[in-house]
Amino acid sequence: MPYEEAKKWRKGNRQASYYADDLKRTKEEKKRDDAYPKAVKPDEMPWEDSPHGKLKHLAREGINARIKDIDMYMQELPAGGRSGKHRHTAEELMFIVEGRGYSLHWDVDFDLDEAYKWHTAEEPKRFDWEEGDLVYIPVNTVHQHFNSDPDKPARFISASNRIYKTLGWGDVEELEEAPPFEKKTGL
């Protein structure tokens, strides 16, 4: 019968403070954000020798909290070198700062039963790039980057949306590690 909920909606004694908590959190977050600088200097951006390679983190939770939706790092591929091979939920953009090379992308499909079961394509697609290019990596694509120049390093800035992590879908899977990175003068 229509409007029967009018007889039931007032039932229950459970109390909450969700709205008040949101107001408090928003106020605290604004205060915290106001304390972060709008310009972050290179010496404040941490380096990481990761399984994916040598990374300089530019934007990430905990580095500069003003940036809430993007993770970004710069990666250098040594002369003739390569990155690790990995897959992550978030799509990714790569801006090529220096050098030339290529990326291999393996499409991924899945079955969903009690859990995801990933199926990676046998053959990758190759995308050549050089300084100034922008490379798009789709959601869940297995990928790996290669420096084609045997004499000079290649550098790129990688950015991905943090929303997948926020929603609990921010998985990353390293399938093949990068070779050990040798730090060059000037890094």
Task: Give the pLDDT confidence of 5-38 residue by residue, as tens digits.
Answer: 777 888 889 999 999 999 999 999 888 888 888 8
> Which segments within the chain are labelled E, that is strand?
47-50, 53-59, 70-77, 85-88, 92-98, 100-106, 108-112, 116-120, 125-130, 134-137, 142-147, 154-161, 172-176
User: Against a cut of 0.75, is the pTM above it?
Assistant: yes
**pLDDT value at 141 more than 50:** yes
CA distances from 182 to 21, 53, 54, 102, 104 (A): 48, 10, 9, 21, 23
| DSSP secondary structure code for residue 35 in this structure | H
Q: How many residues does the chain have?
A: 187
List of domains in the chain: 41-176 (2.60.120.10)
38-87: pLDDT as tens digits: 888 898 899 999 999 999 999 988 777 678 889 999 999 999 999 999 99
pLDDT at residue number 71: 93
Question: What value, to the nearest 5°, has the Cα angle with vertex 180 and ends 60 and 171?
Answer: 40
Interatomic CA distance for residues 25 and 127, integer angstroms? 44
CA distances from 68 to 31, 46, 57, 162, 184 (A): 15, 18, 14, 7, 32
**pLDDT value at 115 more than 90:** no
Q: Which residue has the higher pLDDT, 40 or 160?
A: 160
Contact 184/117 with Cβ under 8 angstroms? Answer: no
Band the pLDDT of 185: cuts 50, 70, 90.
very low
Interatomic CA distance for residues 51 and 85, integer angstroms? 9
Average pLDDT over residues 115-141: 92
Band the pLDDT of 181: cuts 50, 70, 90.
low
